[in-house]
A and B are shown apart, each in its own frame.
Chain A
Amino acid sequence: MSLFEKAAITGIGETAHGRGLQQGSALSLQMQASLAAIADAGLSPRDIDGVIPVATGVAVAEDFITNFGIPDLRFSATTPMGGASCVAAIQAAAAAVATGICRHVLLPIGRTGYSGTRIGARVHEMPQFRTIGEFELPLGNVAPAQIYAPMARRHMELYGTTSRQLAEIAVTTRRHAILNGNAGMTKPLTIEDHQNSRMIADPFRLFDCSLESDGGAAVVVSSAEAARDLRQPRVLVMGAAEGHPDSPSVITQRPDILRIGLAKAAPRAFAMAGVTPSDIQVAEIYDCFTYVVLRQLEEIGFCKPGEGGAFVEGGALGIGGRLPVNTHGGLLSQAHLAGMNHIVELVRQLRGQGGAAQVEGATLGLVTGYGDMGDGSIAIMRRG
């Protein structure tokens, strides 16, 4: 059996984004976003019978039973893949509702990455970073910017990809954040601003790197049947997949350090969905770093390996461009909510609720996740 159109995203919710706007703990931000998503779907919190808390260590399934008074939670799981977790959870939730285990699965996240412990500084506390922690952290390979930079450097050396091409991604994403109206970064950014920003881990400059944010976001995944009776237009999950790179825990030992988990996941998701990359009208691409967007565009098949730099030039990723990407401002300029905000935005776009950032006529799009040194996840959706 296939998960094709067995599940739908029925509710979306998020907190205000922007430094100093949020009040409360990571747990309360998560609850606030979850209640918003459940209300958006037209459900009661007691209707939630499945939950996949993103494995940030903030909330467990029990917290939702306790806070919402859920009488009979039938399904709980985690998909601990860092930034690939949220989109990977769509596949897990779709499997649960498709098989009748439950009907409405909540996918919540909340974090205080700005005011609390910085994410970039504590990755080595996670078990999936154990190998790097022992063998590379003592050498100075401390944070994700440093861990990923050699992939970007090799791409540049092999294919001639430039820092100005990476800047195109940051600049376009910032423009979208400003259109969004609910974003952490609100000042226009130019390619020159990017080129003048301080070097973090060569080739990554400050504006190649994503934000550290306080906030929350959540979505509800329901069975496609149950979704018919709910408040919002249905957004059906046509295809979903996760993929893990070879040598998943350490990039240094990966046979091809450019190859990421999405290379395995994307063909599966497209086959399930019965569409091709040329059918995609809007794409929310996980953007912890600009280069990671560029490389995922290649792995999905929007262009050939090595051609990502040319593909993103000339505002191609802008609204009205060849492939509108990260129409909400992404992790680079809206907020770092591990990509849950990417799912929220894709659903908003496909419902036609994108506001000033709406891609005209968009009814079919995709969202990706990327994390833990290259795990990948993807979901292809359509309004229907």
Chain B
Amino acid sequence: MTPPTSDVALGFLLNGSSVSVTCAPEDRLLDLLRGPLRLPGTKEGCGEGECGACTVLLNGLPVNSCLVPSYQADGATVETIEALADERHAALLEGGATQCGACTPGVAMTAEWIRRHPALGKRFPLSELMAGNLCRCTGYDGILKSLEAALTDDEGTA
């Protein structure tokens, strides 16, 4: 894909609805979501793909939206934290997965991806699967234990 040089009109499926938006060629997907699309649930933690706070699902895969040029979302499916129903968060709430909350939407999106592909959690340690989401508050135990609990719950209801 050749990067555009002038403003670009995009269309994609965002949290189940079609959106059309015009953006500057250098706008990141993160800028688009937090700016004109008014979805501030996705956070910017570092702006260089290290912390995972801006994680969204692009065509079903977790990506750092600060590293995705907006034009790459054209025609894609994008899911942000705002797409998840409250019930989806029960295990993470109970298990102490959130403290200050700044990393939390990104953590919840990576957790969602793992829950949609439970075989992943059987092949790889959860601590490896979650290693792209930095958290400075919890020491990760609350996140990993509650994700484990969520996966067990999912299995029971599948």
A and B are interacting partners: no
